[in-house]
Every structure is written in structure tokens, then in C-alpha cells.
Amino acid sequence: MPLTNRSVVVSHKEQSFSEKIYFPAIVKGMAVTFSHLFKKRPTIMYPEQKREYAAVYRGQHVLKRDENGAERCTACGMCAVACPAEAITMESAERKKGEENLYREEKYAKTYEINMLRCIFCGLCEEACPKEAIFLTDRIVASEYERDVFVYGKDKLVEKIGLPIDVSKRQTPEVLAFKKIPGLKHNQLHQEKISKGKH
Ligand code: SF4
Ligand code: SF4
């Protein structure tokens, strides 16, 4: 008794003469191949030619500095909690006297790591961050031979002093307008929206 209805009865039909000599089948196959010569190529001549990325492309992360060059991240862990791939780990430390120019808040990330092999580039870490500290950029995560090289630390994530990375392309006009309001915190705006019933 058959277990499923997917069984097929094999045909033992005698092959015709044209099937036996294979020639018509070869001609048919060559015609398919030949027809592709006149179609538009889906490949590009990289690296001379490069594809255009969508403005909303999400690539390698950056940990931003503020306008004075201090690290914005306060090691609150919101990004790690929001990350569905559990790709983010960090260790916090207290800012010492005299380090105000290095770290924006009293607490900062002593270590901050993202495992790029786990990351699915969903952008939820960016959404969760209340300090506008982490953003996904249009940079591509480079290919490597060793797996452990894909665990990116602060040396690769924090932007270099004096070389800010533009993350404005993916920001909506609403977010950009918000950033111009001095002193207002991300979560404050969210609370205001809730109280006005806009969310
Ligand atoms: S982009 Fe998504 S998966 Fe990648 S670190 Fe951020 S939250 Fe995690
Ligand atoms: S990047 Fe943002 S959310 Fe993540 S620990 Fe730093 S301040 Fe918190």
C-alpha cells in the first residue's frame, strides 16, 4: 500500500529514432544557449563597474562620536537586548575625571563587539539606541579567511576622530529634524508621541 500519493509510474516507452540519435535534443539545447548571447547580461565588469546601492542599504555599523569627538555610546545595552541575532556584546566602565573629552556620558563601553557572522543587518540596534550612538552605514563587511576576524571590536566600529562617517542618507526627514533640537533625547520624543496619541 503506498504511503503517499506522490508515487509515479515509470514509463518504459520505446524511444523514437530522433530520440535515439540525440541530435534534435542537442540542437534544441544549443538554440537555448545561443539565444542567451543576445540577452542583456546580468553580470557587471567589477571592479571597473560597480552596482548602485539603495539609499537605505544597511552595511557595517559605526559607533558615532559627538560634535566634540567624544564617544556617544554609554554602554546601556539596549542594542544588545534588541538584537535578534545576539550578535552584540559589551563591557561597561565608569568614566574617570579628565576623560570627559573621550566619553560623552559617565558610563562608556570599555569593550564593544559585534559578531558580523551572526548579524543579519536588520538595523534594530540602531532603532533601539537612545543615544544616537550606533548606525548601520553603506560600508561593506570585508571578506576574510578566519571566522574570528569577523568579531569586530571598537577599533573597527568607532569612527576615527576628525573622519566622521555620513549616516544621513538613511535618516528620514523626521529624524534629521529631531537631531537639530538641542538637548532633546530620543526617548523623550517617543514619550511625547505616546502622550499625544500619535504612536
Ligand atoms: S543589525 Fe540587527 S542583527 Fe545586526 S547587530 Fe544590529 S540588531 Fe543585531
Ligand atoms: S550603542 Fe546605543 S544602545 Fe548600544 S549600548 Fe551604546 S548607547 Fe546603548
Cβ neighbours around 40 below 10 Å, total: 4
State the virtual CA torsion across 42, 47, 53, 58 in degrees, nearest 10. Answer: 120
Mean predicted lDDT score pLDDT of the chain: 87
Residue 25 maps to a domain: no
What pLDDT, on a 0 to 100 scale, did the predictor assign at position 199? 46
d(CA 195, CA 179): 20
**What residue owns the CA closest to ligand 2's atom 7?**
73
Contact (CB, 8 A) for 109 and 91: yes
d(CA 60, CA 138): 7
Number of domains present in the structure of the chain? 1
What pLDDT, on a 0 to 100 scale, did the predictor assign at position 196? 72
Bridge partners for 28 per DSSP:
none
193: Cβ contacts below 8 Å, ≥ 6 apart: 199
* Ligand 2 atom nearest 76 alpha carbon: 8
57 against 60, higher pLDDT: 60
**Average pLDDT for 33-53:** 89
**What residue owns the CA closest to ligand 1's atom 6?**
125
What pLDDT, on a 0 to 100 scale, did the predictor assign at position 113? 98
pLDDT band at 64 (very low <50, low <70, confident <90, very high): very high
Residue 172 maps to a domain: no
Grid coordinates given for 194: 505616546
Residue 2 maps to a domain: no
Residue 35 has pLDDT above 80, yes or no: yes
Residue 83 domain boundaries:
62-139+148-166
- Rounded to the nearest angstrom, the distance between the alpha carbon of 55 and the centre of ligand 2 is 24
**Average pLDDT for 130-158:** 94
Ligand with an atom nearest the CA of residue 154: 2
**Average pLDDT for 12-25:** 89
Grid coordinates given for 87: 550578535
Residue 2 has pLDDT above 80, yes or no: no
Residue 20 maps to a domain: no
d(CA 33, CA 43): 16
Query: Cell 563587511 identifies what position?
Result: 141
Q: Which long-range contacts (CB under 8 A, 24 or more apart) does 14-22 make?
A: none
Instruction: Classify residue 123 by burial, with Cβ atoms within 10 Å: 0-12, 13-18, 19+.
Output: middle
Residue 41 maps to a domain: no
Residue 130 maps to a domain: yes
d(CA 189, CA 199): 11
What pLDDT, on a 0 to 100 scale, did the predictor assign at position 103? 96
Q: Look up the CATH number of the domain holding residue 67.
A: 3.30.70.3270
pLDDT band at 118 (very low <50, low <70, confident <90, very high): very high
Residue 102 maps to a domain: yes
Residue 194 maps to a domain: no
Weakest mean pLDDT among 49-53, 118-122, 175-179: 175-179
**What residue owns the CA closest to ligand 1's atom 8?**
83
**Average pLDDT for 41-68:** 89
What pLDDT, on a 0 to 100 scale, did the predictor assign at position 129? 92
What pLDDT, on a 0 to 100 scale, did the predictor assign at position 12? 83
What pLDDT, on a 0 to 100 scale, did the predictor assign at position 168? 80
- Rounded to the nearest angstrom, the distance between the alpha carbon of 127 and the centre of ligand 2 is 10
What pLDDT, on a 0 to 100 scale, did the predictor assign at position 143? 93
pTM to 2 decimal places: 0.71
Range among 7-11, 111-115, 161-165 with highest mean pLDDT value: 111-115
